[in-house]
Homo-oligomer: A and B are copies of this chain.
Amino acid sequence: MALLIQKFGGTSVGNIERIHRIAELIERTCQTGNQVVVVLSAMSGETDRLWRLAHDVTPHPDARELDVLLSSGERVTIALLAMKLRSRGINARSFTGRQVGIVTNSSHTRARIAKVTADPVRRALAEGVLPIVAGFQGVNERSEVTTLGRGGSDLTAVALAATLQADRCVIFTDVDGVSTADPNVVPTARRIPKLSYEEMLELSSLGAKVLQARSVEFAAKYSVPVEVKSSFQEGEGTLVTHEDVDMERAVVSGVTGDRNQAKITVVGVPDQPGIAANLFGAVAGASVLVDMIIQNVSHQDSLTDISFTVPRNDLARAMALVKRTANEIGARSVEVTEKIAKVSLVGVGMRSHSGVASRMFQTLAREKMNIMMISTSEIKISCVLDEENLNKAVQALHKEFGLESPRETGKIH
Protein backbone atom coordinates (compact mmCIF):
# COMPACT_ATOMS: atom_id res chain seq x y z
CA MET A 1 0.00 0.00 0.00
CA ALA A 2 1.48 3.29 -1.12
CA LEU A 3 0.87 6.69 0.45
CA LEU A 4 0.19 9.30 -2.23
CA ILE A 5 -0.25 13.05 -1.94
CA GLN A 6 -2.60 14.29 -4.67
CA LYS A 7 -2.60 18.02 -5.25
CA PHE A 8 -5.19 19.70 -7.47
CA GLY A 9 -4.80 23.25 -8.76
CA GLY A 10 -7.41 25.94 -9.23
CA THR A 11 -8.63 24.84 -12.66
CA SER A 12 -9.13 21.27 -11.38
CA VAL A 13 -11.56 22.55 -8.71
CA GLY A 14 -12.89 25.45 -10.79
CA ASN A 15 -16.55 24.40 -10.69
CA ILE A 16 -18.93 21.78 -9.31
CA GLU A 17 -18.56 19.53 -12.36
CA ARG A 18 -14.77 19.45 -11.99
CA ILE A 19 -15.00 18.79 -8.26
CA HIS A 20 -17.18 15.84 -9.17
CA ARG A 21 -14.54 14.58 -11.60
CA ILE A 22 -11.62 14.79 -9.19
CA ALA A 23 -13.76 13.08 -6.54
CA GLU A 24 -14.04 10.15 -8.95
CA LEU A 25 -10.32 10.27 -9.66
CA ILE A 26 -9.50 10.21 -5.93
CA GLU A 27 -11.98 7.40 -5.35
CA ARG A 28 -10.31 5.30 -8.06
CA THR A 29 -6.90 5.89 -6.45
CA CYS A 30 -8.24 4.71 -3.09
CA GLN A 31 -9.87 1.66 -4.66
CA THR A 32 -6.49 0.46 -5.97
CA GLY A 33 -5.42 0.11 -2.34
CA ASN A 34 -3.51 3.36 -1.91
CA GLN A 35 -3.68 5.75 1.01
CA VAL A 36 -4.32 9.28 -0.21
CA VAL A 37 -3.92 12.77 1.21
CA VAL A 38 -5.45 15.49 -0.98
CA VAL A 39 -4.17 19.09 -1.17
CA LEU A 40 -6.30 21.73 -2.88
CA SER A 41 -5.95 25.26 -4.23
CA ALA A 42 -8.77 27.80 -4.31
CA MET A 43 -11.10 27.78 -7.33
CA SER A 44 -9.34 29.28 -10.34
CA GLY A 45 -9.68 33.04 -10.36
CA GLU A 46 -10.77 33.21 -6.71
CA THR A 47 -7.40 34.27 -5.28
CA ASP A 48 -7.16 36.96 -7.99
CA ARG A 49 -10.71 38.10 -7.22
CA LEU A 50 -9.91 38.46 -3.50
CA TRP A 51 -6.65 40.21 -4.34
CA ARG A 52 -8.54 42.75 -6.45
CA LEU A 53 -11.17 43.25 -3.73
CA ALA A 54 -8.39 44.10 -1.27
CA HIS A 55 -6.81 46.54 -3.68
CA ASP A 56 -10.17 48.14 -4.34
CA VAL A 57 -10.42 48.79 -0.61
CA THR A 58 -6.98 50.35 -0.37
CA PRO A 59 -3.97 50.56 -2.72
CA HIS A 60 -1.63 49.08 -0.10
CA PRO A 61 -3.58 46.52 1.95
CA ASP A 62 -2.07 45.33 5.19
CA ALA A 63 -0.24 42.05 4.61
CA ARG A 64 -1.59 40.30 7.73
CA GLU A 65 -5.16 41.10 6.70
CA LEU A 66 -4.45 40.13 3.09
CA ASP A 67 -3.58 36.65 4.36
CA VAL A 68 -6.82 36.37 6.35
CA LEU A 69 -8.62 37.31 3.15
CA LEU A 70 -6.70 35.14 0.68
CA SER A 71 -6.81 32.03 2.88
CA SER A 72 -10.62 31.96 2.64
CA GLY A 73 -10.50 30.57 -0.91
CA GLU A 74 -9.13 27.13 -0.01
CA ARG A 75 -11.66 26.70 2.80
CA VAL A 76 -14.35 26.70 0.14
CA THR A 77 -12.75 24.02 -2.03
CA ILE A 78 -11.70 21.66 0.79
CA ALA A 79 -15.19 21.77 2.27
CA LEU A 80 -16.90 21.18 -1.09
CA LEU A 81 -14.65 18.24 -2.00
CA ALA A 82 -14.96 16.68 1.46
CA MET A 83 -18.78 16.92 1.17
CA LYS A 84 -18.70 15.40 -2.29
CA LEU A 85 -16.55 12.46 -1.18
CA ARG A 86 -18.65 11.91 1.97
CA SER A 87 -21.80 11.85 -0.15
CA ARG A 88 -20.13 9.01 -2.08
CA GLY A 89 -19.54 7.06 1.13
CA ILE A 90 -15.86 7.98 1.56
CA ASN A 91 -14.84 9.09 5.03
CA ALA A 92 -13.16 12.36 3.98
CA ARG A 93 -12.44 15.28 6.31
CA SER A 94 -11.18 18.78 5.53
CA PHE A 95 -8.14 20.33 7.27
CA THR A 96 -7.06 23.97 7.21
CA GLY A 97 -3.37 24.89 7.22
CA ARG A 98 -3.58 25.43 10.95
CA GLN A 99 -5.29 22.11 11.57
CA VAL A 100 -2.58 20.29 9.61
CA GLY A 101 0.11 22.00 11.63
CA ILE A 102 1.83 23.97 8.88
CA VAL A 103 3.82 26.52 10.86
CA THR A 104 5.51 29.34 8.96
CA ASN A 105 7.47 32.47 9.70
CA SER A 106 5.56 35.76 9.82
CA SER A 107 6.36 37.05 6.32
CA HIS A 108 2.72 37.54 5.40
CA THR A 109 1.76 36.83 1.75
CA ARG A 110 5.10 35.07 1.18
CA ALA A 111 5.67 33.06 4.32
CA ARG A 112 8.24 30.29 4.48
CA ILE A 113 7.42 26.97 6.09
CA ALA A 114 9.24 26.52 9.40
CA LYS A 115 7.73 23.25 10.55
CA VAL A 116 5.08 20.75 9.54
CA THR A 117 3.75 18.51 12.30
CA ALA A 118 0.96 16.83 10.31
CA ASP A 119 -0.06 14.86 13.41
CA PRO A 120 -3.79 15.37 12.79
CA VAL A 121 -3.30 14.00 9.27
CA ARG A 122 -1.43 10.97 10.59
CA ARG A 123 -4.20 10.31 13.11
CA ALA A 124 -6.83 10.72 10.40
CA LEU A 125 -5.04 8.24 8.13
CA ALA A 126 -4.75 5.75 11.00
CA GLU A 127 -8.53 6.04 11.50
CA GLY A 128 -9.17 5.38 7.83
CA VAL A 129 -10.07 9.01 7.15
CA LEU A 130 -9.15 10.63 3.83
CA PRO A 131 -7.68 14.07 4.66
CA ILE A 132 -8.49 17.00 2.36
CA VAL A 133 -5.94 19.71 3.11
CA ALA A 134 -6.07 23.44 2.27
CA GLY A 135 -2.96 24.36 0.29
CA PHE A 136 -1.21 27.73 0.27
CA GLN A 137 -1.85 28.51 3.94
CA GLY A 138 -0.30 28.10 7.34
CA VAL A 139 -0.11 29.86 10.68
CA ASN A 140 2.77 31.62 12.37
CA GLU A 141 3.83 30.94 15.95
CA ARG A 142 1.12 33.28 17.27
CA SER A 143 -1.44 31.21 15.35
CA GLU A 144 -2.09 34.02 12.86
CA VAL A 145 -2.95 32.99 9.33
CA THR A 146 -0.16 33.23 6.74
CA THR A 147 0.01 32.35 3.05
CA LEU A 148 2.91 30.89 1.11
CA GLY A 149 2.82 33.06 -2.02
CA ARG A 150 1.86 32.21 -5.59
CA GLY A 151 1.90 28.50 -6.27
CA GLY A 152 2.08 27.86 -2.54
CA SER A 153 -0.26 24.88 -2.76
CA ASP A 154 2.47 22.93 -4.56
CA LEU A 155 4.70 23.68 -1.61
CA THR A 156 2.06 22.49 0.87
CA ALA A 157 1.77 19.23 -1.06
CA VAL A 158 5.52 18.62 -1.23
CA ALA A 159 6.05 19.58 2.42
CA LEU A 160 3.30 17.19 3.51
CA ALA A 161 4.77 14.46 1.31
CA ALA A 162 8.16 15.01 2.94
CA THR A 163 6.75 15.02 6.47
CA LEU A 164 4.57 11.97 5.93
CA GLN A 165 7.30 10.23 3.90
CA ALA A 166 4.82 9.70 1.11
CA ASP A 167 5.76 7.45 -1.77
CA ARG A 168 4.90 10.10 -4.30
CA CYS A 169 3.54 13.64 -4.56
CA VAL A 170 1.30 13.94 -7.60
CA ILE A 171 0.61 17.47 -8.85
CA PHE A 172 -2.52 17.44 -10.99
CA THR A 173 -2.77 20.35 -13.37
CA ASP A 174 -4.39 21.37 -16.65
CA VAL A 175 -1.50 20.14 -18.84
CA ASP A 176 -0.24 16.58 -19.18
CA GLY A 177 3.18 17.28 -17.65
CA VAL A 178 6.28 19.32 -18.32
CA SER A 179 6.91 19.89 -22.01
CA THR A 180 10.06 20.39 -24.06
CA ALA A 181 8.67 23.88 -24.80
CA ASP A 182 5.45 25.85 -24.44
CA PRO A 183 3.04 24.01 -26.80
CA ASN A 184 1.40 27.35 -27.65
CA VAL A 185 4.72 28.45 -29.14
CA VAL A 186 6.03 25.12 -30.42
CA PRO A 187 3.23 22.85 -31.69
CA THR A 188 5.62 19.88 -31.86
CA ALA A 189 6.57 20.17 -28.19
CA ARG A 190 6.45 16.84 -26.33
CA ARG A 191 5.86 15.82 -22.71
CA ILE A 192 9.14 15.04 -20.92
CA PRO A 193 8.65 11.69 -19.12
CA LYS A 194 11.39 12.19 -16.52
CA LEU A 195 13.36 15.15 -15.20
CA SER A 196 15.90 15.66 -12.45
CA TYR A 197 15.14 18.10 -9.64
CA GLU A 198 17.86 20.42 -10.96
CA GLU A 199 16.38 20.52 -14.44
CA MET A 200 12.91 21.11 -13.07
CA LEU A 201 14.24 23.87 -10.84
CA GLU A 202 15.86 25.63 -13.78
CA LEU A 203 12.73 25.20 -15.88
CA SER A 204 10.52 26.58 -13.09
CA SER A 205 12.83 29.52 -12.50
CA LEU A 206 12.96 30.22 -16.23
CA GLY A 207 9.25 30.65 -16.65
CA ALA A 208 7.78 27.16 -17.04
CA LYS A 209 4.68 27.75 -14.93
CA VAL A 210 3.89 24.15 -14.22
CA LEU A 211 5.58 23.79 -10.82
CA GLN A 212 6.65 26.43 -8.33
CA ALA A 213 10.45 26.66 -7.94
CA ARG A 214 10.38 26.60 -4.11
CA SER A 215 8.42 23.35 -4.19
CA VAL A 216 11.07 21.78 -6.40
CA GLU A 217 13.86 22.84 -4.03
CA PHE A 218 11.90 21.40 -1.14
CA ALA A 219 11.25 18.16 -3.01
CA ALA A 220 14.95 17.82 -3.87
CA LYS A 221 16.02 18.52 -0.29
CA TYR A 222 13.73 15.82 1.12
CA SER A 223 13.92 13.45 -1.90
CA VAL A 224 10.18 13.56 -2.60
CA PRO A 225 9.37 12.06 -6.00
CA VAL A 226 7.01 14.52 -7.70
CA GLU A 227 4.81 13.67 -10.64
CA VAL A 228 3.15 16.38 -12.70
CA LYS A 229 0.14 15.16 -14.68
CA SER A 230 -3.23 16.13 -16.09
CA SER A 231 -6.39 15.98 -14.00
CA PHE A 232 -8.44 16.04 -17.19
CA GLN A 233 -7.02 13.06 -19.05
CA GLU A 234 -5.61 9.68 -18.13
CA GLY A 235 -2.00 8.80 -18.83
CA GLU A 236 1.55 9.37 -17.69
CA GLY A 237 2.89 12.73 -16.64
CA THR A 238 6.37 13.99 -15.88
CA LEU A 239 8.22 12.37 -12.99
CA VAL A 240 10.67 14.68 -11.21
CA THR A 241 13.20 12.83 -9.13
CA HIS A 242 16.91 12.49 -8.38
CA GLU A 243 19.14 12.21 -11.40
CA ASP A 244 19.33 8.60 -12.42
CA VAL A 245 22.87 7.60 -13.46
CA ASP A 246 21.61 4.79 -15.61
CA MET A 247 18.94 6.82 -17.29
CA GLU A 248 19.13 7.69 -20.92
CA ARG A 249 20.31 11.22 -20.63
CA ALA A 250 19.24 13.99 -22.95
CA VAL A 251 21.69 16.78 -23.63
CA VAL A 252 18.90 19.30 -23.69
CA SER A 253 15.59 18.57 -21.94
CA GLY A 254 13.67 21.70 -22.74
CA VAL A 255 13.59 25.23 -24.10
CA THR A 256 11.91 28.07 -22.23
CA GLY A 257 11.06 31.64 -23.10
CA ASP A 258 10.48 34.31 -20.47
CA ARG A 259 9.05 37.74 -21.26
CA ASN A 260 9.08 38.93 -17.67
CA GLN A 261 12.42 40.66 -18.21
CA ALA A 262 13.69 44.22 -18.26
CA LYS A 263 17.20 45.57 -18.60
CA ILE A 264 18.59 48.44 -16.57
CA THR A 265 21.87 50.08 -17.62
CA VAL A 266 23.74 52.43 -15.33
CA VAL A 267 25.91 54.57 -17.59
CA GLY A 268 29.20 56.20 -16.63
CA VAL A 269 29.90 54.47 -13.34
CA PRO A 270 33.28 55.29 -11.74
CA ASP A 271 35.27 52.06 -12.05
CA GLN A 272 36.17 51.64 -8.39
CA PRO A 273 35.98 48.71 -5.98
CA GLY A 274 32.72 48.50 -4.01
CA ILE A 275 30.60 50.37 -6.53
CA ALA A 276 28.80 47.24 -7.77
CA ALA A 277 28.22 46.10 -4.21
CA ASN A 278 26.51 49.41 -3.46
CA LEU A 279 24.32 49.15 -6.51
CA PHE A 280 23.17 45.56 -6.15
CA GLY A 281 22.99 45.68 -2.39
CA ALA A 282 20.29 48.33 -2.68
CA VAL A 283 18.27 46.32 -5.20
CA ALA A 284 18.59 43.02 -3.33
CA GLY A 285 17.48 44.75 -0.13
CA ALA A 286 14.12 45.34 -1.80
CA SER A 287 13.81 41.62 -2.63
CA VAL A 288 14.18 42.27 -6.37
CA LEU A 289 15.92 39.37 -8.05
CA VAL A 290 18.78 40.56 -10.27
CA ASP A 291 19.41 37.92 -12.90
CA MET A 292 22.16 38.66 -15.45
CA ILE A 293 24.84 41.29 -15.00
CA ILE A 294 27.26 42.69 -17.57
CA GLN A 295 29.99 45.18 -16.82
CA ASN A 296 31.73 46.78 -19.80
CA VAL A 297 35.49 47.20 -19.82
CA SER A 298 36.51 50.60 -18.58
CA HIS A 299 36.53 53.51 -20.92
CA GLN A 300 39.66 55.67 -21.03
CA ASP A 301 38.06 58.03 -18.51
CA SER A 302 37.85 55.22 -15.92
CA LEU A 303 34.11 55.10 -16.28
CA THR A 304 32.20 51.91 -17.00
CA ASP A 305 28.62 50.85 -17.82
CA ILE A 306 26.80 48.22 -15.78
CA SER A 307 23.76 46.44 -17.26
CA PHE A 308 21.54 43.95 -15.50
CA THR A 309 18.13 42.34 -15.83
CA VAL A 310 15.27 42.28 -13.34
CA PRO A 311 11.74 40.83 -13.56
CA ARG A 312 9.67 43.34 -15.52
CA ASN A 313 7.00 43.47 -12.83
CA ASP A 314 9.64 44.57 -10.29
CA LEU A 315 11.03 47.24 -12.61
CA ALA A 316 9.39 50.27 -10.98
CA ARG A 317 10.57 49.21 -7.55
CA ALA A 318 14.09 48.47 -8.79
CA MET A 319 14.36 51.75 -10.72
CA ALA A 320 13.53 53.86 -7.69
CA LEU A 321 16.43 52.29 -5.82
CA VAL A 322 18.86 52.22 -8.74
CA LYS A 323 18.32 55.89 -9.53
CA ARG A 324 18.99 56.91 -5.96
CA THR A 325 22.12 54.75 -5.72
CA ALA A 326 23.35 55.88 -9.18
CA ASN A 327 23.08 59.40 -7.94
CA GLU A 328 25.03 58.65 -4.78
CA ILE A 329 27.89 56.95 -6.64
CA GLY A 330 28.03 59.68 -9.26
CA ALA A 331 26.94 57.69 -12.28
CA ARG A 332 26.03 59.64 -15.40
CA SER A 333 22.54 58.22 -16.15
CA VAL A 334 20.23 55.21 -15.91
CA GLU A 335 18.64 53.66 -18.99
CA VAL A 336 15.88 51.10 -19.25
CA THR A 337 14.97 48.59 -21.96
CA GLU A 338 11.70 46.79 -21.43
CA LYS A 339 11.25 44.99 -24.72
CA ILE A 340 13.64 42.14 -24.05
CA ALA A 341 13.10 38.45 -23.34
CA LYS A 342 15.16 35.48 -22.28
CA VAL A 343 15.45 32.15 -24.09
CA SER A 344 17.03 29.25 -22.21
CA LEU A 345 18.14 25.67 -22.77
CA VAL A 346 18.05 23.28 -19.82
CA GLY A 347 19.47 19.78 -19.53
CA VAL A 348 21.62 17.74 -17.16
CA GLY A 349 23.38 16.34 -20.22
CA MET A 350 25.18 19.65 -20.64
CA ARG A 351 27.43 18.66 -17.77
CA SER A 352 29.05 15.97 -19.86
CA HIS A 353 28.60 17.42 -23.32
CA SER A 354 30.45 20.47 -24.52
CA GLY A 355 29.35 22.43 -27.54
CA VAL A 356 25.76 23.13 -26.50
CA ALA A 357 26.43 26.84 -26.04
CA SER A 358 28.12 27.33 -29.41
CA ARG A 359 25.38 25.36 -31.16
CA MET A 360 22.82 27.62 -29.48
CA PHE A 361 24.66 30.79 -30.54
CA GLN A 362 24.99 29.50 -34.11
CA THR A 363 21.29 28.75 -34.27
CA LEU A 364 20.38 32.24 -33.10
CA ALA A 365 22.93 33.79 -35.49
CA ARG A 366 21.45 31.84 -38.37
CA GLU A 367 18.09 33.39 -37.45
CA LYS A 368 19.82 36.80 -37.48
CA MET A 369 19.08 37.47 -33.85
CA ASN A 370 21.32 39.66 -31.75
CA ILE A 371 22.29 38.25 -28.35
CA MET A 372 22.40 41.02 -25.75
CA MET A 373 23.42 39.07 -22.68
CA ILE A 374 24.38 35.50 -21.85
CA SER A 375 24.40 33.54 -18.63
CA THR A 376 25.17 29.92 -17.98
CA SER A 377 25.02 27.37 -15.20
CA GLU A 378 26.10 23.74 -15.19
CA ILE A 379 22.82 22.64 -16.76
CA LYS A 380 21.48 25.83 -18.38
CA ILE A 381 22.30 28.47 -20.97
CA SER A 382 20.25 31.66 -21.25
CA CYS A 383 20.40 34.41 -23.85
CA VAL A 384 18.66 37.78 -23.72
CA LEU A 385 17.14 38.87 -27.03
CA ASP A 386 14.75 41.40 -28.47
CA GLU A 387 11.32 40.39 -27.20
CA GLU A 388 9.95 40.22 -30.74
CA ASN A 389 12.41 37.41 -31.57
CA LEU A 390 11.45 35.20 -28.63
CA ASN A 391 8.97 32.76 -30.18
CA LYS A 392 11.10 32.25 -33.30
CA ALA A 393 14.13 31.60 -31.11
CA VAL A 394 12.29 29.00 -29.01
CA GLN A 395 11.04 27.28 -32.18
CA ALA A 396 14.46 27.24 -33.83
CA LEU A 397 16.21 25.87 -30.75
CA HIS A 398 13.51 23.25 -30.16
CA LYS A 399 14.13 22.00 -33.68
CA GLU A 400 17.92 22.29 -33.59
CA PHE A 401 18.19 20.08 -30.49
CA GLY A 402 15.76 17.52 -31.85
CA LEU A 403 13.25 17.94 -29.03
CA GLU A 404 10.22 17.10 -31.19
CA SER A 405 11.36 13.47 -31.46
CA PRO A 406 12.09 11.14 -28.51
CA ARG A 407 15.18 12.04 -26.53
CA GLU A 408 18.47 12.49 -28.35
CA THR A 409 21.09 10.83 -26.20
CA GLY A 410 24.19 12.87 -26.81
CA LYS A 411 26.72 13.07 -29.61
CA ILE A 412 27.14 16.78 -30.07
CA HIS A 413 29.17 17.37 -33.24
Contacts and interface: CB of A to CB of B under 8 A. Distances in A.
A166 interface: no
Contacts of A50: 76
Given A53-B16, A65-B94, A68-B94, A58 B83 contact: yes
Interface-centre pick from A19, A68, A80 (highest chain B CB count, 10 A): A68
A245 B38 CA distance: 62
Interface string A217-237: 000000000000000000000
B80 A53 contact: yes
A407 interface: no
A19 B57 contact: yes
A99 interface: yes
Contact of A87 (B53, B61, B79, B83): B61
Contacts of A61: 83, 87
Contacts of A84: 57-58
A61 B83 CA distance: 5
Contact of A79 (B66, B94, B96, B99): B66
Interface in A49-76: 50, 53-54, 56-62, 64-66, 68-69, 71-73, 75-76
Given A71-B75, A72-B72, A72-B75, A65 B53 contact: no
B54 A79 contact: yes
Contacts of A56: 16
Nearest to A94: B68
A82 B63 CA distance: 11
Nearest to A84: B57
A193 to B, nearest CB: 35
Nearest to A58: B87
Interface size class of A (residues with CB under 8 A): 35 or more
B69 A86 contact: no
Given A93-B64, A99-B143, A54 B71 contact: no
Interface in A263-278: none
Contact of A83 (B57, B82, B143): B57
Nearest to A59: B87
Nearest to A56: B16
**Interface hub of A57, A79, A84, A145 (most chain B Cβ within 10 A):** A79
Nearest to A63: B83
A78 interface: yes
A69 B62 contact: no
Nearest to A16: B56
Contacts of A86: 58, 62, 65
A293 to B, nearest CB: 37
A20 to B, nearest CB: 8
Interface of A: 16, 19-20, 50, 53-54, 56-62, 64-66, 68-69, 71-73, 75-76, 78-80, 82-84, 86-87, 93-94, 96, 99, 143-145
8 contacts: A16-B57, A19-B57, A53-B80, A57-B83, A57-B87, A60-B87, A69-B83, A72-B73
